[in-house]
Amino acid sequence: MGIFDKIKEKLSHEFIDIIEWLDYTDDTICHRFERYQNEIKNNAKLIVREGQVAVLINEGQLADVYEPGTYTLNTQNMPILTTLKGWKYGFDSPFKVEVYFVNTHLFTDEKWGTKNPITLSDDRFGLVEIRAFGSYAYRINDAGKFIVDIVGTDNNFTNFEINEHLKSLIATRFTDTVGEANLPIELYAANTTELSETCKEVMLPEFISVGISLEKFFIENVSMPEELKKEIFEYSRIDKLDLDKLTKFKTAKAIEAAAKNEGGTAGAGMGMGMGFVLAQQMGGLMSPQMGGQQQGGAMPPPMPVALQYYYAANGQQAGPVTFDLLKALFANRTVNKDTLVWKQGMGNWTALKKVEELKVFLGSNTPPPLPPQ
């Protein structure tokens, strides 16, 4: 071997490329290996570490993809690039190609949330608003598709860049899913695990279409306005309690509230009324013990019978209650303007708002028209 052959062999070994990428950031998804004019020498060494995939792009076209390992780049292990270049018998000169390294490890604890409230229609509470937030985890499962569809020519594509797109996608699909689920509003917060699994199944195909695999998806909280929570808790208690006992309880609470009226007059009147009732009951109990004798004269005429109302609650008949007690029940929202009521003399059950003497519950302060002069 001549001296020039030895020098040529030595130089050829010295200029063999080593193509590798060491990631120290932990948030880079895709990195383009930079070479002068993107030239790579024949028999260059390609080192792909665990958690990486190397992708070769030739003139904008996806070529070969390499899993973890060490490769000597030549026509034998670059079948697609060899076909694109038209190398039939090998090559000796440098060639131009872009090498992208894609991080394939699991990106965990990524946060998502609904920027605006989601409006849902509930059979019992009407239109309601909820918010939700949680976390998800993903990895790149098709590096070639991901580079072509998402990365493009970006030389350093980070987790932050893709996260904005993924969070918008998740919020949109979550809104569609809960809207189509048509669950009672209180079940959204109570069934986050099942709802999370359903949402993941809905979103997975869209992630796969751009080379991303949605590995985990969690709904950590579904929140709603405080006043709606109170109504749900109240409805739940009503659903579990005996309706007759609940009606009596509500009536007693209404009487107590009226008796404590700070105005004094209403409270005094209620207190006097209760005193009269107790006096009558005590008198009735004492009369037999006294031989049924009345002291101080003849028996007074019977008291006029107060008008009694029945009302519908949770599909059942409740009552009877007096006008004042019905007004108190309306005040504490046990009944409302659409509640069906009935009294003696009425042909059918009628909504409270349509019964003339009960319209005063609705709070109308408009005076009647003046009489003609």
Do 210 and 318 fall within a single domain? no
Do 165 and 199 fall within a single domain? yes
Do 224 and 318 fall within a single domain? no
pLDDT, averaged per 10 consecutive residues of the chain (373 residues), comes to 50 64 83 79 88 88 90 83 75 79 91 87 80 92 90 84 88 85 75 87 91 92 80 64 64 72 48 45 46 55 73 84 84 84 86 85 64 68
Q: Is 31 contained in some domain? A: yes
Task: Indicate the helix (H) or strand (E) that contains 56.
Answer: strand 52-58
CA distances from 369 to 131, 169, 359, 372, 373 (A): 49, 60, 17, 9, 12
Do 140 and 210 fall within a single domain? yes
Q: Is 289 contained in some domain? A: no
Do 45 and 127 fall within a single domain? no
Per-residue pLDDT reduced to its tens digit, 332-367: 778 888 889 888 888 888 898 888 888 888 875 455
Do 329 and 345 fall within a single domain? yes
φ and ψ at residue 369, rounded to 5 degrees: -65, 150
Split into its structural domains, the chain has a count of 3
Do 159 and 82 fall within a single domain? no
Q: Is 313 contained in some domain? A: yes
Are 92 and 15 a contacting pair, CB within 8 Å? no
Last residue of a domain, one of 173, 205, 229: 229
Strand partners, 56: 99
Q: Is the peptide bond before 320 cis (omega within 30 degrees of 0)?
A: yes
Q: Is 16 contained in some domain? A: yes
Strand partners, 47: 70
Do 112 and 221 fall within a single domain? yes
Q: Is 235 contained in some domain? A: no
Residue 102: the pLDDT is 93
Last residue of a domain, one of 54, 75, 103: 103
Last residue of a domain, one of 229, 252, 287: 229
Q: Is 278 contained in some domain? A: no
The SS3 of residue 331 is: helix
Reading the block at residue 106, the tokens are 């699991």
Residue 38: the pLDDT is 66
Residue 26: the pLDDT is 77
Full-model pTM = 0.55
Q: Is 267 contained in some domain? A: no
Residue 294: the pLDDT is 47
DSSP letter string, 261-301:
-TTSHHHHHHHHHHHHHHHHHHHHHHHHHTTTPPSSSSPPP
Closest alpha carbon to 232 in 130, 315, 114: 130
Range of the domain at 311: 242-261+306-364
Do 97 and 128 fall within a single domain? no
Do 255 and 204 fall within a single domain? no
Q: The CATH number of the domain where 195 resides is what?
A: 3.30.479.30
Q: Is 269 contained in some domain? A: no
Please tell me the number of Cα atoms within 13 Å of 285 on its side-chain side.
Answer: 6
Total H helices, total E strands in the chain: 10, 18
Reading the block at residue 247, the tokens are 């009606």
Please tell me the number of Cα atoms within 13 Å of 96 on its side-chain side.
Answer: 6
The SS3 of residue 34 is: coil
- Taking the C-alpha atoms of residue 98 and residue 191, their distance in angstroms, rounded to an integer, is 48
Q: The CATH number of the domain where 332 resides is what?
A: 3.30.1490
Residue 298: the pLDDT is 65
CA distances from 128 to 187, 198, 285 (A): 13, 22, 54
Do 32 and 85 fall within a single domain? yes
Query: Residues in the chain, how many?
Result: 373
Do 124 and 190 fall within a single domain? yes
